[in-house]
Structure 1
Amino acid sequence: MPNLLHIDCSVRRDESVTRSITAVFAEEWRAAHADGGYVYRDIGAAPVPHIDEAAVVAGLLPPEAWADEHRVGWSVSEPLIEELRAADTLLLGVPMYNFSIPSVLKAWFDRVTVKEHMITVPGTEGLLTDKRTIVVTARGGSYAPGTPRESFDFQAPYLRALLEQIGLDRHLEFVHAEMTLAHSVPALEQFKPIADTSREEALETVRRLAAA
């Protein structure tokens, strides 16, 4: 039975571009996989606690060597790890904040990046390498190749690096919606058509990917 793990991390609710696009993917995927499992985590509304020493040490020691604080720390990480391992498809909705990713998503990655998931030899297989990963991003401006702020994109390259170290880059698709601030920042109003086109293309892409 296929399983989808859907994670949103935007602090915005109804006006969130990433939420609206990932919702379409999830809806189309569930329609195409009527027998599939579905887990949704909204870490924008319910953030994952930042990693602490107890959780890190717990991930390095055998359970029989744990002290009480290690058990407490691991109790936060363990359900996140189990959800990721159970998923066949990982769907991430990731707005760009200050040229990078929301800190709540970094906290989630810190929890699931454990030694059992790490790819220590490039190109080798790991526990997570057979999974499909869809990353839906929203950017207030444009960071496409050839644009003035191409070098300011610390979102997609950073995510690719995080995913690569745990083997989730093997079946990875990025879906970008750009110029999203054109509808709220007067100085960017001239770019509204670009924003609208980018969003429609992103929606078309996620529908295609969900049906695959």
Structure 2
Amino acid sequence: MPNLLHIDCSIRPAESVTRQLTALFAECWRTENPGGDHTYRDLGRSPIPHIDEASVMAALLPPHERTEAQRQAWTRSEPLITELRAADTIVIGVPMYNYSIPSTLKAWLDRVTIAEHMVDDSRTKSGVLEGKHVLVVTARGGAYGPGTPRAEYDFQEPYLRAALGQIGLATHLHLVHAEMTLAYSIPHLSQFSNIADASRSAAEDHVRRLATARS
């Protein structure tokens, strides 16, 4: 049975572009997979704790060797790991905050990046999570694509490719960007509203295609 893991991390409610785009993907995916499971996790509204020493050690030790603090820490990480392993399709909405990703998503990544998930670079060149289809939908207030004045400040996409790649989630990874989203919020950016509209429309089309065709 197909299983979609749907993650949002925007701090904004209904106005969030990433929430709207991941919801569009989920709607199209459910139409294509009427019997599939849809697991939703909202890191923006219900953030998970950042990792600490107990969390790291809990992931390294067998259950019978963990201290009480480590066992408690593992109860926060284990559900996230279980959800990730069960999914064959993953959609993540990622707004750009200060040129990078929200700290709530970083906390999630830190908890699911464990030794068992790491790609074996020295021997098999593979990992247990490989084969999953991953869509990352981003929203950027400005424009950060190749050739734009702020392209060098995009620490979002390179980080996500590296972080997801090290745990085997880059084999079928797609990133879709909606840019200039602040064109309707900040007066001096209103001159770029046509760019925002075109970027949003292209993102919506891309999301629909990916929800119905896994490639």
Fold conserved (TM > 0.5)? yes
The residue identity in structure 1 corresponding to 2:45 is A
CA contact (8 A) 2:120 2:127 kept: no
Provide the residue aligned with 2:62 in structure 1: 62
1:120, CA displacement in angstroms? Answer: 3.4
Within the alignment, does 1:131 sit opposite 2:126 as a pair? no
Specify the alignment match of 2:146 in structure 1.
145
Q: Secondary structure at the match of 1:134?
A: strand
Partner of residue 74, structure 1: 74
Matches within 5 A, 1:32-181: 32-121=32-121, 124-181=125-182
Percent identity for Structure 1 against Structure 2: 62
How far, CA to CA, are the matches of 2:127 and 2:120 in structure 1? 9
Question: Per-residue CA shift, 1:121-172, capped at 9, x if unaligned?
Answer: 0772211011011000000000111110000000000000100110100000
RMSD: 0.9
Per-residue deviation, residues 79-117 of structure 1 (Å, max 9, x unmatched): 000000000011000000000000000000001000000
Is residue 196 of structure 1 aligned with residue 197 of structure 2?
A: yes
Residues in 1 aligned to 2:133 and 2:104: alpha-carbon distance in whole angstroms: 22
CA contact (8 A) 2:120 2:126 kept: no
Distance in 2 (alpha carbons) for counterparts of 1:120 and 1:138: 32
Match of 2:191, as an amino acid? Q
Find the residue that maps to 1:50 and give its secondary structure. Answer: coil
Moved more, 77-86 or 51-60: 51-60
Q: Do the aligned partners of 2:180 and 2:193 also contact (CA within 8 Å) in 1?
A: yes
User: TM-score when scaled to structure 2?
Assistant: 0.97
Deviation, 1:55, is 1.2
Regions of 4+ moved over 4 Å = none
- Report the Cα distance in structure 1 between the residues aligned to 2:145 and 2:73, rounded to whole angstroms: 40
- Residue 207 of structure 2 is aligned to residue 206 of structure 1: yes
Distance in 2 (alpha carbons) for counterparts of 1:124 and 1:30 = 33
- CA distance in 2 between counterparts of 1:149 and 1:84 reads 33
d(CA) in 2 for partners of 1:157 and 1:52?
A: 25
The count of corresponding residues between Structure 1 and Structure 2 is: 212
- TM-score, with length taken from structure 1: 0.98
